[in-house]
Amino acid sequence: MDYVYGPGRNHLFVPGPVNIPEQVLRAMNRNNEDYRSPAVPALTKTLLEDVQKIFKTSSGTPFLIPTTGTGAWESALTNTLSPGDRIVSFLIGQFSLLWIDQQQRLNFNVDVVESEWGQGANLEILASKIAADKEHTIKAICIVHNETATGVTNNLATVRKILDHYQHPALFLVDGVSSICALDFRMDEWGIDVALTGSQKALSLPTGMGIVCASPKALEASKTAKSVRVFFDWNDYLKFYKLGTYWPYTPSIQLLYGLKAALDLIFEEGLDNVIARHARLGQATRLAVEAWGLKNCTQKEEWYSDTVTAVVVPSYIDSSEIVRRAWKRYNLSLGLGLNKVAGKVFRIGHLGHLNELQLLGCLAGVEMVLKDVGYPVKLGSGVAAASAYLQNSTPFIPSRI
């Protein structure tokens, strides 16, 4: 039988869903309750205020939608745009590809800027398109901040600089599914109009909540946008926000309490410290990959992701076999290569509620798997490189009472 439960715990190192902290599990271990009672609106009000902090916005309006990142994508698009609107969207990997597919199926006029997988968004092409668009036919720029298929992070500040330089009014829509709460993200400072994330990534929650944050400009655009929307309509939420009851339909009560516990953990550590921790774990993983003699799928250091590393394997190895063997023999879950990089890369997720020893255990497991599939790795080489770096870098250590 191929599917068996291995001894011990599963070591989950895919780039989402991620491990759920015990505090969050305990917070969600509760019965259902009436969401129209005074307790749930009071909790929701606190959550909306706290969510603004992780987006680093004081003016954005958050929406907690019972959905996935895909639903959050649709919410961002349909509330701000009309069918036929021209949008510029960057294809750099599987998840940007899926968002583009959604944009096309929603009948937008999608101007696709494609890069080789492993490269970031081509912002020089964006600049040329914006410069040429004197009539402002481009209504939105859509970009995935962190492409989990290839481990590429895009520079959002540069996108904003391009728009500002040419005084272009296009909306700036960002998929922050695998970046928000793990990578540097500044909604107000970078002039992002709609940002979104999913509960199962850096927030370390179960799948099931799409979190969208809209700028005043995006809310204004929603008043005239003609895309059909029902379940994802921001206006339904806003009506209930004014009433103080917050929910136009039934929320996931357990996820709301889990979100409160997850945010409490993040704020206790300090959001900037959380971001710094991810940077350390990302660098440690990249050093391990280098010590193994393997290459990062991401082609330039400026694009390196601190939440996921896509590792390129030699041509004689099928990366899918690495993932399969890791799970079956060592109870270690790694990410598959997707689409154009299927069979060519495997992915190590290093995001969420995660520490150094957990990561080192994962790296040791990867070394054993590499040995199993015939790659001449020196056991301990990656672990040594990563641990030496982690030992000599300076983590934030929260006080424990």
- For 359, list phi and psi in degrees, rounded to 5: -65, -45
Bind-site residues: 347
Total Cβ atoms within 10 A of residue 375: 17
CA distance 136 to 394: 47
**Sequence letter at residue 26:** R
Token pair of 337, please?
A: 């290569």
Bind-site residues for substrate: 347
CA distance 240 to 249: 10
Q: Are 158 and 126 in contact (CB under 8 A)?
A: no
Q: Are 153 and 146 in contact (CB under 8 A)?
A: yes
385 vs 25, 71, 80, 301, CA distance in Å? Answer: 33, 40, 47, 18
Please tell me whether the peptide bond between 314 and the residue prior to it is cis, using omega within 30 degrees of 0. no
Q: For the chain, how many residues are written?
A: 401
- For 317, list phi and psi in degrees, rounded to 5: -115, 135
CA distance 192 to 190: 6
Q: Which residues contact 41 (CB under 8 A, 6 or more apart)?
A: 244, 245, 246, 247
